[in-house]
Chain A
Amino acid sequence: QQPVQSPQAVILREGEDAVINCSSSKALYSVHWYRQKHGEAPVFLMILLKGGEQKGHDKISASFNEKKQQSSLYLTASQLSYSGTYFCGTEAPSSGTYKYIFGTGTRLKVLA
């Protein structure tokens, strides 16, 4: 049930682009993206709610496919500050309420 992210890890040079994928065997209600820098708490990047949605700010954007089973995070012209672990996340119904599930994570390191 946990969304699977790929790749597990990626190393980039400054200015290079990266794509991180988040896949689920079932349609997701929504998908959130978070970035966690080493030793810090996760920080929200964006949320996608609708199939076919694309959203972005600055050089980070994301898409949600029509079937709502896959989301991709696009990092363009990467900067050193982009280094960290990226998690997708989604809510799932559970016993009359909800639980929140994060994906397996992608470690991204940007080198100068």
Chain B
Amino acid sequence: GAGVSQSPSNKVTEKGKDVELRCDPISGHTALYWYRQSLGQGLEFLIYFQGNSAPDKSGLPSDRFSAERTGGSVSTLTIQRTQQEDSAVYLCASSRGTAYNEQFFGPGTRLTVL
């Protein structure tokens, strides 16, 4: 693909349900990032994957959030027992290597928790 893709583009769920968000990075990009952006707010870092290295999970807001990256490519961000405060746009980005490189962002997944 030409760019980073994310699915679904929109997700409406009920409080307490689990959701899974998917990110397909640009082919060959070893670094992958997840961010959260609440309405009108800045970009909150969630997690960073670099190749096959173990990520630092300390940026995840709570233990209801988890992320994995299979085969160094596709990544999923899972939110268990969703809460209304989880409503936000979840952005994924990828880059060629380390954080010194330009990040290419996907279009985001807009999550609404009712």
Across the interface, A99 reaches (CB within 8 A) one of B48, B100, B107, namely B48
Q: Does A84 contact B (CB under 8 A)?
A: no
Q: A97-B48, A97-B50, A104-B42 are in contact. Are A41 and B100 (CB under 8 A)?
A: no
Residues of B within 8 A of A41 (CB): 91, 105-108
Residues of A within 8 A of B42 (CB): 87, 102-105
The DSSP consensus for interface residues of chain B is loop
| Residues B99 and A91 in contact, CB atoms below 8 Å apart | yes
The DSSP consensus for interface residues of chain A is strand
Minimum CB–CB distance for A24 against chain B, Å:
15
Q: Does A101 contact B (CB under 8 A)?
A: yes
Q: How large is the interface on B (under 10, 10 to 19, 20 to 34, 35 or more residues)?
A: 20 to 34
Residues of A within 8 A of B65 (CB): none
| Residues A102 and B100 in contact, CB atoms below 8 Å apart | no
C-alpha spacing A49/B102, complex, angstroms: 12
- Among B16-24, B51-59, B69-77, the one that faces the other chain is B51-59
CB-CB nearest in chain A for B89: A41
